[in-house]
Amino acid sequence: MPPKPAPSKINLEEKFALFTDQWAPRLAAHYNGNEVRLAKVEGEFQWHRHAETDELFLVIDGELDMEFRDRTEHMRQGDMIVVPRGTEHRPCARAGEVKLLVMDADGTPNTGDATTAFKPVEV
């Protein structure tokens, strides 16, 4: 097995500056079988669920409503939420663009359906 490269820091501000499109996650790192994704979002996403894995959202900048069928969690910069597998949810950024860090298991479709998902690319 070839040696792994030495670890190096990742500057999130620099990574976010590399793209402008929204609802199109970018891969910033891999961690123990997970993808660390960065996304810029604005407006409402679609209702969806991930049957096989939990999903972590961390608000880097802006305000996000994480809607569930029975309630809404309003999130600000520095807030984090873990959506349990199988839980229907819809992220919404109604007050302007939001920068998010999202952790998913490797290959998890962002829409919960591989046929409609955006395949994240590395930044």
Residue 72 is predicted with a pLDDT of 98
pLDDT of residue 121: 84
Render pLDDT for 95-120 as a digit per residue (tens, 0 to 9).
999 999 999 999 888 878 888 887 88
In a domain, 20, yes or no: yes
At 52, which CATH number?
Answer: 2.60.120.10
The whole-number pLDDT of residue 6 equals: 84
Residue 64 domain flag: yes
Q: What predicted TM-score, i.e. pTM, was given to this entire model?
A: 0.91
pLDDT digits (tens, 9 = 90+) for 37-90: 999 999 999 999 999 999 999 999 999 999 999 999 999 999 999 999 999 999
The number of beta carbons lying within 10 Å of the beta carbon of residue 86 is 12
Cα–Cα distances in angstroms (integers) from residue 58 to residues 63, 79, 81, 87, in the given order: 11, 6, 7, 17
> What are the DSSP E strand ranges found in the chain?
26-31, 34-44, 55-61, 64-68, 71-75, 80-83, 89-105, 121-122
The count of structural domains within the chain is: 1
